[in-house]
Amino acid sequence: MKQEHYIKVVNDVIHRMEKHADVVMNVKQVAEYLGLSVGAVRKRCQRKQLPYHLNAKHLYFSKLEVDAALLDRK
């Protein structure tokens, strides 16, 4: 009985960790995630409305950072 309880707890923890796992997205993926066009995403980056990372002329986004930025809006 205890082993079944521990397995359930471990599975619950794994599920919660997966839910909060960070995902790296490119411009097209973040546009689909937000329901915007690629141009609109780029414009929001220029206006510093979306957090992004630049690597070799390519924009990359952290899902957790994008979510946090959207939640911080008033």
Architecture of domain 22-74: Orthogonal Bundle (1.10)
Share of the chain above pLDDT 90, in %: 51
Domains of the chain, by residue range, sit at 22-74
- Look at residue 74 and tell me whether its pLDDT is greater than 60: no
- Give the per-residue pLDDT at 1: 59
**CA dist 71 to 4, 8, 13, 39, 65, Å?**
38, 32, 24, 22, 10
Contact 63, 33 (CB under 8 A): yes
Residue with tokens 């690629």: 38
Q: How far apart are CA 40 and CA 30, in angstroms?
A: 11
- 28-58 pLDDT tens trace: 999 999 999 999 999 999 999 999 999 988 9
